[in-house]
Amino acid sequence: MSEKTPINYWKANVRIITICMVIWALVSYGFGIILRPLLAGIRIGGTDLGFWFAQQGSILTFIALIFYYTWYMNRLDREYDVHEEE
């Protein structure tokens, strides 16, 4: 296990933010724009999958990432003993 220093806490924080942003960019730009022609043949909800990702998938992914980030940061805060007392 790593040493519990403020530097390690912020490294973990920046790492999870970077991962979440890469996932969101992949879904938003990758699936919704760049890979849309490849996904055009796949139908979901009456439209092609690329359009669905551009209109709905990126938003739903963003909401899921918010919940994941909240859960992860609460766990990280408890691990580094910087959580708020309830």
Residue 32 in any domain: the answer is: yes
Residue 1 — very low, low, confident or very high, per pLDDT cuts 50/70/90? low
| C-alpha closest to that of 58 among 30, 85, 28, 78 | 28
Looking at the domain assignment, is residue 29 inside a domain? yes
Q: Is 52 part of any domain?
A: yes
86 found inside a domain: no
Query: Does residue 40 belong to any structural domain of this protein?
Result: yes
Domain range for residue 12?
Answer: 6-79
Q: pLDDT tens, 25-53?
A: 998 888 888 888 888 888 887 888 888 88
Structure tokens at 41: 């043949």
What the block records as the tokens of 82 is: 């910087």
Please report whether residue 57 resides in a domain.
Answer: yes
Q: Which two tokens stand for residue 9?
A: 């806490």
What is this structure's pTM? 0.80
What is the total count of domains within the chain? Answer: 1
Does residue 1 lie within any of the structural domains? no
